[in-house]
Structure 1
Amino acid sequence: MSGETIIDSFGNADYYITVADDALALVAEAYGFSEAKLAGFNGLQPGAVLAPGTKLRLMPEGPGIGASGAAVVDTAGIPTSYTIEHDDTLAGITYRFNVTADQLAEANKVPFVQEQGNVYFVREGRTIQLQKNPVDSRSGTGQAVENSWGTTVFYTTVDGDSFDSLGYQFRVGTAEILQYNPSLVETEPIPAGTKLRMTAADLPVEGARGTYTADANGIPLTYTTVAGDTEVQVAARFGVTMLSDANGPTSGGGGVWYQYTHVPSGELAAGQTISVSLDQPINMPGLDS
């Protein structure tokens, strides 16, 4: 097979253009499909003869179970955006548009698209991006300073960095970068050598409005709760995966030492100083410093 493969922004093969002597079964095998599935994608019967120059779809055509709405496509037929319909699912969307969940998260500059922490990516009426924009090959090579969970807290830019390149790499939207770094202007290039904050630590947010302490490098260590704070929002503000990993039970079995005012919502009692660092845990036997 020597025909042209049309790929998306992630390198996923979406179409194949046939040449002389190509056969449906051989094309299907080359791209990891059964002949029946590839035939179904293209409205053909298994065994159909392929004329040279036939543009074969390597992904489902049109609406389907779990992705029933209309998509926007570019001139090459690559899906670029999609508005979520009622009863759509993550599995349906990734299957129909030939992208992985991680690629979908990258395109939308979010940490994850799975349902986590009561944050739902797949929501009816939401328009999502299915591709990413081109970025400079020099981007993303600056110095990153991470917290103990591996989340980048600070990043020093290099030539070629842009809001898109930073957003795709660190899964943070342009609006958030501008909030965290008020000296930046969206319509102007980001100068090389700029030290950017990549989390909301300095920005009190709904559900995490308290104060925090940090080490000499500015990495948050502890957080003191105020009324209305929730576990999910505190974790999100400081780029923490699981607060319980740094806050063990007072004694005995599982759970955490800190108290709630409303357990189902994760609302925390005010006035508690909670660890937001795996390096300085609280009530973790053998690990507390």
Structure 2
Amino acid sequence: MSEMPIDKERARRAFSRSAGSYDESAVLQREVGRRMLERLDLVRLKPKTVLDLGCGTGEQTHQLLQRYPKAQVHALDFALPMLAHARRQGRWLRRPHCICGDMEHLPLADDSMDLICSNLAFQWAAHPQRLYQECLRVLRPSGLLMFTSFGPDTLHELRSAWAQVDDHAHVSPFMDMHDLGDILVNSGYAAPVMDVEHIVLTYGQVDDLMRDLKSIGAHNAAAGRQRGLTGKARMQAMRQAYEAFRSEGVLPATYEVVYGHAWAPKKPGAVSVPLEMLNRRKED
């Protein structure tokens, strides 16, 4: 699959409007970002240039500034109001370099980044293949791409409840982990690794879930969504359908979180020499 039916302009407007309320409700995003960055502990990488791609308000940007104190950290987002928050991360003498741009058309030079991190932003790409190719373009040889995204099981309860009301798309579409892995391979990355986990948040009422989604800007961005407002009768029917998932007094909201990382290949002609061979030469 090379394209997703995402209305990216609608997504950009939604995230712009939610910049002020995002941090209050982005509990899942912070936790997933923390788990992703923990994986960097297993990677031997001392980047000089780092890109937080789809930085939002800059929570992860702040963590990257702390993790790599000698690196130049860049933060890119397509929603300018989000960047207004992100540029305040760090401290006075060391702020991130903030860029308002499209992650599918990165305003960055070839071979300019050693590390690209992206937390729960890639699912908003209209052309995933182009996105991953752009990341590869700006990565230096042996640079690392590390990202998280949502899988198709995300908010399946909400999707199911709406399906009993009408046949419109009420939840944005998300790509399967295996399809994302295929894109990485086809784009030319080396040693891609993919895995997935399910995280369940709980709510007293479905309206609490809807309020959280609105607060972080995660509106339905499906290109085939219903236009206009949803009527009160259909909203009530959806609430009743969602009640079928209630367990132990709460309503679940499932998120399928996909973790991925892959390396930019070495330049053609590069030769790897085992360390023991170098030591042997010195002894000779």
**TM-score range normalised by the length of the shorter chain:** under 0.3
Relative contact order, CA 8 A, sep 6+: which one is greater? 2
Greater fraction of residues in helix: 2
TM-score, normalised to structure 1, is: 0.24
**Structure label with greater radius of gyration:** 1
